[in-house]
Amino acid sequence: MGVVKCVGILTSGGDAPGMNAAIRAVTRSAIYNGLAVKGIYRGYKGLIDNEIVEFKTQNVSNIIQQGGTILKTARSQEFMTPEGRQLAYDNMCNAGIDALVVIGGDGSLTGARIFAEEFDVPIIGLPGTIDNDLYGTDRTIGYDTALNTIMEAVDKIRDTATSHERLFFIEVMGRDAGFLALNGAIAVGAEAAIIPEIATEVDQLAELIQNGFRKSKNSSIVLVAESELTGGAMGLAERVKNEYPQYDVRVTILGHIQRGGSPTANDRILASRLGNAAIDALLEGQRNIMVGVQNDEIVNVPFVKAIKKDKPINRDLLNTLRILSI
């Protein structure tokens, strides 16, 4: 394809606070640089259904503070087929779009990589997921807001846990990544975090009990990452009931509350920087990359690395949590 003249923007997969800030930044940076902008509603599904609208600067006014995504998001089984992607490409060409910015997580960027390779389309990905699980970027859009939501919720749960002298398992999102659980546990002063990254190395529940938690405390909070590897909060509570019946256990699953809400300053700034950097990357001739941030510097990460490599947790944080939970 030739020189980029019109950029299409879509959000895909799970919504994340800060996606609107990213949409705003991409739109206004593109217009500033003389490019036309088209908003694509409902992700890849909207590309197939031709839900494409021209965006001007006023389309993104007063959205930076809103959670969710004004472009909506949807799953698309059809986009997983060659026929669906061909239809999406035809609609994109008919709309005059010659480059895409895709805001989403692992699945969204996987779709972007396949689409880019099949049709030689320049695509820039922005890491939009509360899970913080994309390799090559220190933070993803939405992670900080979700972490703050968890902190506020657990602070309230602790009041009840303390009043009733109970052990609370609180399940947080993250799919198969423990970033929210681990950093959330440190932020709320929890006794432990049970995460998938070390689930095959140690029986985290047995270790928690054997280390004598509650020796000097009248309540305990444990954050659990949702994952088959951890067993989830309900699975762990059942184990305690069967193996350690002396403990009074309660479960709270925070669920989709973690995805909503007005984005924090950190997420608004990150999304704005990455959105602007996406347009810079396109103008520089970059393609098939995710724009991320490392050590507070913008970086370009090939899709194949961002998607296929597992992002490691900082194991020093596990030790910090253990020390501070005595």
Going along the chain from its start, the domains and CATH numbers come out as 6-142+263-308 (3.40.50.450), 146-259 (3.40.50.460)
Q: Where are the alpha helices (DSSP H) in the chain?
A: 19-32, 43-48, 82-94, 106-119, 143-164, 179-188, 204-210, 232-243, 265-283, 303-308, 315-324
DSSP 294: E
Place of tokens 């695509």: 123
pLDDT per residue as tens digits for the range 173-196: 988 899 999 999 999 999 899 999
SS3 (DSSP) at 56: coil
Spatial distance between the Cα atoms of 304 and 189, rounded to a whole number of angstroms = 37
Q: How far is CA 41 from CA 66, 103, 236, in A?
A: 17, 12, 40
- Kindly tell me if the per-residue pLDDT of 32 is higher than 80: yes
User: What are 119-138's pLDDT values in tens digits?
Assistant: 999 999 999 999 999 999 99
- At 138, list the tokens: 């220190």
Q: How confident is the model at residue 212 (pLDDT cuts 50, 70, 90)?
A: low
pLDDT at 183: 98
Q: If you search the block for the tokens 């846990």, which residue do you land on?
A: 161
**Cα separation of 259 and 285, whole Å?**
33
Higher pLDDT: 221 or 164? It is 221
Which pLDDT belongs to residue 218?
57
From residue 15, alpha-carbon distances to 27, 44, 60, 108, 130 in Å are 18, 14, 17, 11, 8
**pLDDT at 145 exceeding the cut of 90:** yes
Separation CA 190–CA 193 (nearest Å):
7
3-state secondary structure of 80: helix
**Cα–Cα separations (whole angstroms), residue 292 to 2, 31, 176, 255, 296:** 25, 22, 21, 26, 9
Residue 179 to residue 227: CA distance in whole angstroms? 12
Q: How confident is the model at residue 164 (pLDDT cuts 50, 70, 90)?
A: confident
| pLDDT at residue 246, as a whole number | 84
Is 42 within 8 Å of 49 (Cβ atoms)?
Answer: yes
3-state DSSP call for residue 220?
strand
Query: Which of these, 280, 209, 195, 294, lies nearest to 243 by C-alpha position?
Result: 209
Out of 241-245, 286-290, 310-314, pick the least confident.
241-245
The two counts, helices (H) then strands (E), for the chain are 11, 11
Core vs surface per residue 28-54: b (16+ CB within 10 A) or e? bbbbeeebbbbbbbbbbbbbbbebbee
Q: Exposed, middle or buried, 87 (CB in 10 Å: 0-12/13-18/19+)?
A: middle
Residues taking part in catalysis: 131
* Tokens (6 digits) for 237: 């509570």
| pTM reported for the whole predicted model | 0.95
